Structure 1
Amino acid sequence: MSGSIFLYSTGSIQVLNMTDPDMVKELANFKSFDIGRPLFLQKERRALLGMGILTSNGELWAHQRKVIAPEFFMDKVKGMLHVMVEAAMPMLTSWENITGKKGGSAEIVVDESLRNFSADVISRTSFGSNFAAGKEIFNKIRQLQIAMAEQSMLGVPGVRYLPTKTNREIWSLDRSIRRLILNVALKHEQDSVALSTKDLLHSIIKGAKARHFASQTPEDFIIDNCKNIYFAGHETTSTTAAWCLMLLASHPEWQSRARTELLDVCQGKPIEFDMLRKFKMITMVIQETLRLYPPAAFVAREALNDLKLGSLNIPKGTNIRIPVALAHRDPVLWGPNSDRFDPGRFANGIAGACKAPHMYMPFGVGARTCAGQNLPMVELKVVLSLLLSKFEFALSPNYVHCPAFRLTIEPGNGVPLIFQKLY
């Protein structure tokens, strides 16, 4: 096979690479449990993700999705708006103080602040605590993410079992994170009896008791899914926000257009949920950022049984990978300027931007599409609108463009921006 569909191997893993739109559509429409998440991820990413919703398969995954997905329906996310605004305030105040002390203009590296903001949002909305309470968990998950990214770059089979310095760090962090999450869950269970709290953690604890699986204890059900939400719920959002700011700083005309629309919609009033629908420019900027810098490098699946996909017979154990960045920059699908930042391509939605809309997959594709995608989209609109209303920003001369794979694709050397207060 060649071109948009070809087979290669990494060690003992056979990989079917796929960017053919018809085959991707077949995969997206495949509903059977015969296709699932790659089994090797459950081993390689066990410390970070365990057997949570991001890595599990079959009936276990279906139960996890049934428990978790309703917590991110838009009517629930709508009620989280005030939390997002509150979580952004310390960051905005800090940046206003920094620019104020420097005469109204200062260089700020935004990554850590954005990571703290999104961690605070997921902590408050999903676990009933603020960032301070969840800080130790987030810090350890971040350390674990970096350590595991270093380990995965080695590409040596079985290296995860050796007592190397990195592996010892991974094992220690895993134990600490388990203990911390169990403590949060236990306290939450005690508090929720008194306060009648009904948030995501409540649903996860309830879901752990509702059904029992041979492959996962109730305790692991809670720990693994909390890890998944802690990681996916804040890391991808903060990374996308950093890329958004980098691109808006690099394209002042789009920054200006987004700000003009924002000021016109808000009319100096605090942000309300109904305003978000009118932020057309900001939505287009987010969509274009996710096209150029999707958080995940691949959509990854595995044939869990022999199966037929389109005209192909795929043996059990074959991994299927769609390189998302390649699909998102294919000039056949997106036009000759597919490498250029042009939010205007989304003026008529995804269908108007891409000849095969299913090839736009920042949140995955098919049945395994991200259950929580409403939260980051609303969160990104909130944080961008607040920043655009208070600051103009340009790319610092110190910025070095260096996308790095650390399980998500993030700015390798951070995003330093020159902020100018608007008033």
Structure 2
Amino acid sequence: MKVQFDSQFFTSIVFISFVALLFRLYTSFVHKPNVLRSKLRKQGISGPPPTILLGNLMEIMKSQLTIPISHSFLTHNTASLVFPKFEEWRKQYGEVFVFSFGNIQSLCVSQTDMIKEITTYTSFDLGLPPFHKKLFRPLLGDGILTSNGTTWAHHRKILAPELYIDKVKGMVNIISEAGESLLNLWNSKIEAQSGVADINIDEDLKIFSGNVISRACFGSDYSKGQEIFLKLGALQEVGFSWKNLSSAVPGMRYLPTKTNRKSWILAKEVKSLILQVVKERKEKTSFEKDLLQMVIEGAKKSNLTQEAGDNFIIDNCKNIYLAGFESTAVVSSWCLMLLASNQNWQDRARAEVLEICRGRIPDLDMLSKMKQLTMIIHETLRLYPPAPLLLRHAFKDMKFGNIDVPKGTGLWILIISLHTNPDIWGDDAYKFNPERFANGVAGACKHPHAYMPFGVGPRICLGQNLAILELKMLIALILSNFSFSLSPRYIHSPALGITMKPDHGVQLLVRKL
């Protein structure tokens, strides 16, 4: 009798648990999304119809897999290449439309007034979407690029002062030394190839950028820093691509797939390497004033537990890598591609550099006088911003413009679409024309918030000053030593990963002046 009672009791528990699970799934994937979409639909906002589990995720993935590669780069309608489905939806449903990223209902916003309100909103009620942290946890952890609220504010308080312009100015020698190493490398390649070298520049630019951020972050331990950054680069390549959005499917990141297993191994190796450098740094008697030291001291002052302190240091080192290494290398690739395909602007910039430097290594004063180069960098960042997408999440009901945004709604701003909108930038919006920045950013377009290559508002990229200084120094050194054109092997293929990069690299024919 007791056995029968226990069996009935167990069966009841299993049944109740199963019903509870079904109810939870129904609430998450059907009820809540329908409620949110209903609230938006009543305000006249429509969008593509979603499926129950994946929303519009499969449509987005399919469009990414079928992006054509092109040998034509006379125009730079990059948004149609990296966000083809979103561009299609924008034309069909308007400047504000709703779509489903899995079970997350999101608004894609192109209205400039609404974008201004979103990007300048300072309350912690608007932050990064929770899926963002889950998706990028192996690569970024809980650092400044994924955290919200008081955690984010704490990270920013520690890191921001070390990347203010006054501190960045002190890194000029580090940057010029890394640049000279690249010049020597290219000179040797030119000699080996009888005066004209066909170079895939991407890896060389990564070495340059990695050299700079390794020295800035790890000081005398930069060689170990480079090893860490190489591992992080491998981790990024493993699974963080918009052609592989399957990890955004609920529960997928926990499955022991080949990609996930490799990601877990690399993340473990990165953690071990960083902790080893931190241990050696703490044992030193001499004091180094670099980013790593500031992060270590920040963890110490925060009175964190040993584990929490270690995670704080590890996550911020990862975030510094992405902000200070990846972005600069990618933008410099695009900038050299544009100069290679626009010989007149290459000649103008070179003439300016040679006149100002007169055979000397550029210093801060010289770089500040390079107006042509500044215009070229701004135009590169307009056409090929390192982060072409800005994500936010409403943690409570709020209002932007005339739209009531329900709690739990995602907000997506396609920066690349904004940067190339003919209504904002004119009929030549898809063309490379640095002249538009002759009177600075304010004089380049109708709306100041339509140009945000490093984001805008409270979450603007902390590393933008370092990135601009690196770009100016590197391009100035290359222009004063080499002439270059596009190789016949170059394939124009912007692709979206963590940043927007050339999927097949940039090949240049490089000659010594």
Structure 1-normalised TM-score?
0.96
Distance in 2 between residues matched to 1:204 and 1:174, nearest whole Å = 19
Q: What is aligned with 1:338?
A: 429
Distance in 1 between residues matched to 2:367 and 2:300, nearest whole Å = 37
Q: Which stretch has the larger CA shift, 380-389 or 194-203?
A: 194-203
Match of 2:200 among 109, 133, 144: 109
Q: Percent identity?
A: 49
Once the two structures are superposed, residues 318-361 of structure 1 have per-residue CA deviations (whole angstroms, 9 ceiling, x without a partner) of: 11110011000001111110000011111111111111011101
- 1:86 aligned onto 2:159: no
Q: What is aligned with 2:165?
A: 74
Match of 2:261 among 149, 156, 168: 168
8 Å CA contact 1:240, 1:293 repeated in 2: yes
Once the two structures are superposed, residues 259-279 of structure 1 have per-residue CA deviations (whole angstroms, 9 ceiling, x without a partner) of: 000111112222111111111
Distance in 2 between residues matched to 1:314 and 1:18, nearest whole Å = 12
Alpha-carbon spacing, 1:213–1:358, altered in 2? closer, same or farther (3 Å): farther
Q: What is aligned with 1:358?
A: 449
Match of 1:283 among 356, 374, 380: 374
Distance in 1 between residues matched to 2:481 and 2:208, nearest whole Å = 17
Q: How far apart are 1:102 and its partner, in Å? A: 2.5
Distance in 2 between residues matched to 1:182 and 1:130, nearest whole Å = 13
Structure 2: runs of 5+ lacking an equivalent: 1-44, 46-92
Once the two structures are superposed, residues 112-148 of structure 1 have per-residue CA deviations (whole angstroms, 9 ceiling, x without a partner) of: 0100110110010122146532232112111111112
Q: What is aligned with 1:54?
A: 145
By relative contact order (CA 8 Å, sep 6+), the higher-ranking structure is: 1
Alpha-carbon spacing, 1:130–1:385, altered in 2? closer, same or farther (3 Å): farther
Q: What is aligned with 1:19?
A: 110
Q: Give the aligned residue type for 1:316.
A: K
Distance in 2 between residues matched to 1:170 and 1:349, nearest whole Å = 43
Q: How far apart are 1:101 and its partner, in Å? A: 2.7
Q: How far apart are 1:212 and its partner, in Å? A: 5.1
Q: Which stretch has the larger CA shift, 244-253 or 298-307?
A: 298-307
Q: What is aligned with 1:319?
A: 410
Distance in 1 between residues matched to 2:326 and 2:352, nearest whole Å = 28
Q: Give the aligned residue type for 1:101.
A: A
Alpha-carbon spacing, 1:159–1:182, altered in 2? closer, same or farther (3 Å): same
Distance in 2 between residues matched to 1:176 and 1:68, nearest whole Å = 24
Q: Give the aligned residue type for 1:136.
A: E
Once the two structures are superposed, residues 253-297 of structure 1 have per-residue CA deviations (whole angstroms, 9 ceiling, x without a partner) of: 000000000111112222111111111111111111111111113
Higher-Rg structure is 2
Structure 2 residue matching 1:17: 3-state secondary structure: strand
- 1:249 aligned onto 2:340: yes
Q: What is aligned with 2:496?
A: 405
Q: How far apart are 1:405 and its partner, in Å? A: 1.4
Distance in 1 between residues matched to 2:222 and 2:348, nearest whole Å = 33
Q: Give the aligned residue type for 1:351.
A: A
Distance in 2 between residues matched to 1:72 and 1:384, nearest whole Å = 21
- 1:29 aligned onto 2:123: no
Q: Give the aligned residue type for 1:170.
A: S
Structure 1: runs of 5+ lacking an equivalent: none
Q: How far apart are 1:59 and its partner, in Å? A: 0.7
Distance in 1 between residues matched to 2:475 and 2:343, nearest whole Å = 14
Q: What is aligned with 1:188?
A: 281
8 Å CA contact 1:307, 1:314 repeated in 2: yes
Q: How far apart are 1:213 and its partner, in Å? A: 7.0
Q: Which stretch has the larger CA shift, 84-93 or 244-253?
A: 84-93
Q: How far apart are 1:312 and its partner, in Å? A: 2.1
Q: How far apart are 1:19 and its partner, in Å? A: 1.2
Distance in 2 between residues matched to 1:381 and 1:345, nearest whole Å = 19
Structure 2 residue matching 1:349: 3-state secondary structure: coil
- 1:392 aligned onto 2:483: yes
Alpha-carbon spacing, 1:131–1:252, altered in 2? closer, same or farther (3 Å): farther
Distance in 2 between residues matched to 1:312 and 1:331, nearest whole Å = 25
- 1:236 aligned onto 2:236: no
Superposition pairs for residues 75-154 of structure 1, below 5 Å?
75-129=166-220, 132-150=223-241, 152-154=244-246
- 1:179 aligned onto 2:266: no
8 Å CA contact 1:120, 1:130 repeated in 2: no
Runs of 4+ with >6 A deviation: none
Distance in 1 between residues matched to 2:351 and 2:283, nearest whole Å = 48
Alpha-carbon spacing, 1:114–1:413, altered in 2? closer, same or farther (3 Å): same
- 1:377 aligned onto 2:507: no
Q: Give the aligned residue type for 2:250.
A: P
8 Å CA contact 2:217, 2:290 repeated in 1: yes
Alpha-carbon spacing, 1:189–1:92, altered in 2? closer, same or farther (3 Å): same
Q: What is aligned with 2:512?
A: 421
Once the two structures are superposed, residues 174-211 of structure 1 have per-residue CA deviations (whole angstroms, 9 ceiling, x without a partner) of: 100011111122222333xx222122111111111222
Q: How far apart are 1:251 and its partner, in Å? A: 0.3
